[in-house]
Structure 1
Amino acid sequence: MNLFAIEMKLFWANRLNKWLLLTYLVAGVVAISLSQVTYERELEHYQLAETFYQNEIEHYQEQFDKQQLQLGYMGYYLFHPVAQLPQAWSALFRGQRDESANHLRVRLLGLQSQVNANALGNTDAQRFGQFDLSFLWLYLMPLLIGAMTINLLADEKSSGRWPMLVAQVSKGTQLIFRKMAVPALMVLTVNVTLLVLATWMTSVTIDSSWLAVLLQVVLYQLCWWLICGWIVFLNKEASFNYLSLISIWLVFTFIVPGMAYLYQIQQQEAGKDAAIVFEQRQYMNDSWDKDKKADFEAYLAKFPQWTPTAPLGDEFDWRWYYGQQQMSDVVVSDLVEKRYQSQLASHQQGQAFSWFSPVMTMQYSFNRLANSDMLANVDFNQQVAEYQQSLRDFFWSFYFFDTAFEKTDFADIPSFNYQPDNAAFIWQGSLKLLLLSLVFGVLLWRKVSAFHER
Structure 2
Amino acid sequence: MLSDLGRELRFAWREPVVRWTTLIAFGFTVFALTAGLLEVRNQEREIAGLAAATVEDQKLVLDGQPDPGSAAYYTFHLTYDPPSALAFAALGSRDELSWKHRLRMLAVEGQIYETDTDNSELSLIGQLDFAYLVSILLPLLVIGLLFDLEARERRESRYELVCATSAHGRGIFLVRALARCLILAAAIALPFLGFALYGGVSIGDSLLVLALASGHILFWLLVCRLVTVRNLEGATAALILLSLWFLLSVVVPVVGKTGVERMVAVPDGGHILLTQREKVNDAWDLPKSATMDPFLKTYPELTDYAEIKRQFEWKWYYAFQEMGDQTAAPLSTDLYEGMRARDGAMGWVALLSPPLMTHRVLTQMAQTDVDRHLRYVQCARDFHARLRHFFYPMLFGPKPFSKENMSELPQFEPCIDRES
Question: TM-score interval w.r.t. the shorter chain?
Answer: over 0.9
Q: Which residue of 1 aligns with 2:66?
A: 69
Is it true that 1:283 corresponds to 2:279 in the alignment?
yes
Retained in 1: the 8 A contact 2:248–2:355?
yes
1:185-242 Cα offsets, whole Å, 9 max, x none, are 21222233133112223231213x3332232122111111111111121221101110
| SS at 1:105 equivalent | strand
Q: Which residue of 2 aligns with 1:46?
A: 47
* C-alpha separation in 1, matches of 2:252 and 2:165: 44
* C-alpha separation in 2, matches of 1:170 and 1:129: 44
**Among candidates 150, 168, 171, match of residue 147 of structure 2:** 150
Rate the CA distance shift 1:146–1:10 in 2: closer, same or farther, 3 A: same
1:154-206 Cα offsets, whole Å, 9 max, x none, are 00000111122233235532221221121122122223313311222323121
Moved more, 387-396 or 7-16: 7-16
**Among candidates 151, 176, 179, match of residue 176 of structure 2:** 179
Rate the CA distance shift 1:195–1:322 in 2: closer, same or farther, 3 A: same
Is it true that 1:83 corresponds to 2:80 in the alignment?
yes
Equivalent residue runs for 1:365-384 within 5 Å: 365-384=361-380
Retained in 2: the 8 A contact 1:116–1:277?
yes
**Among candidates 324, 330, 333, match of residue 328 of structure 1:** 324
Moved more, 307-316 or 92-101: 307-316
* C-alpha separation in 2, matches of 1:124 and 1:263: 15
Equivalent residue runs for 1:167-206 within 5 Å: 167-206=164-203
| SS at 1:117 equivalent | coil
* C-alpha separation in 2, matches of 1:419 and 1:43: 16
Would you say how many aligned residue pairs link Structure 1 and Structure 2? Answer: 418
How many angstroms does 1:256 deviate by?
Answer: 0.4
Q: Which residue of 2 aligns with 1:416?
A: 412
Q: Which residue of 2 aligns with 1:14?
A: 15
Retained in 1: the 8 A contact 2:67–2:401?
no
Q: Which residue of 2 aligns with 1:301?
A: 297
Q: Which residue of 1 aligns with 2:135?
A: 138
**Among candidates 153, 162, 169, match of residue 159 of structure 2:** 162
* C-alpha separation in 1, matches of 2:168 and 2:78: 67
* C-alpha separation in 2, matches of 1:335 and 1:124: 25
Is it true that 1:116 corresponds to 2:119 in the alignment?
no
Equivalent residue runs for 1:229-248 within 5 Å: 229-248=225-244
How many angstroms does 1:344 deviate by?
Answer: 0.9
Rate the CA distance shift 1:310–1:184 in 2: closer, same or farther, 3 A: closer
| TM-score relative to the length of structure 1 | 0.86
* C-alpha separation in 1, matches of 2:140 and 2:418: 32
- 1:230 alignment partner AA: L
Retained in 1: the 8 A contact 2:90–2:129?
yes
* C-alpha separation in 2, matches of 1:359 and 1:383: 31
| SS at 1:412 equivalent | coil
* C-alpha separation in 2, matches of 1:263 and 1:124: 15
- 1:316 alignment partner AA: F
How many angstroms does 1:269 deviate by?
Answer: 3.4
* C-alpha separation in 1, matches of 2:278 and 2:233: 67
1:72-97 Cα offsets, whole Å, 9 max, x none, are 11211211111111111111101121
Q: Which residue of 2 aligns with 1:432?
A: none
Retained in 1: the 8 A contact 2:58–2:76?
no
Moved more, 16-25 or 267-276: 267-276
- 1:44 alignment partner AA: R
- 2:158 alignment partner AA: R
Retained in 1: the 8 A contact 2:62–2:75?
no
- 1:274 alignment partner AA: G
Q: Which residue of 2 aligns with 1:95?
A: 92
- 2:151 alignment partner AA: A
Rate the CA distance shift 1:286–1:241 in 2: closer, same or farther, 3 A: same
Retained in 1: the 8 A contact 2:126–2:132?
no
* C-alpha separation in 1, matches of 2:405 and 2:22: 61
Rate the CA distance shift 1:76–1:327 in 2: closer, same or farther, 3 A: same
Retained in 1: the 8 A contact 2:145–2:180?
yes
Is it true that 1:338 corresponds to 2:341 in the alignment?
no
Retained in 2: the 8 A contact 1:369–1:422?
no
Structure 2 residues not aligned, in runs of 5+:
none
Rate the CA distance shift 1:10–1:191 in 2: closer, same or farther, 3 A: same
How many angstroms does 1:294 deviate by?
Answer: 4.5
Among the aligned pairs, what percent are the same residue? Answer: 22
Is it true that 1:316 corresponds to 2:317 in the alignment?
no
1:93-115 Cα offsets, whole Å, 9 max, x none, are 01121111111111111111211
Q: Which residue of 2 aligns with 1:60?
A: 61
* C-alpha separation in 2, matches of 1:349 and 1:114: 29
- 2:263 alignment partner AA: Q
1:347-391 Cα offsets, whole Å, 9 max, x none, are 111001001010111111111122212212222211111110000
Structure 1 residues not aligned, in runs of 5+:
424-454
Retained in 1: the 8 A contact 2:23–2:187?
no
Moved more, 179-188 or 398-407: 398-407
- 2:165 alignment partner AA: Q
Rate the CA distance shift 1:180–1:422 in 2: closer, same or farther, 3 A: farther
How many angstroms does 1:402 deviate by?
Answer: 4.5
Q: Which residue of 2 aligns with 1:106?
A: 103
Retained in 2: the 8 A contact 1:154–1:237?
yes
Retained in 2: the 8 A contact 1:100–1:121?
no
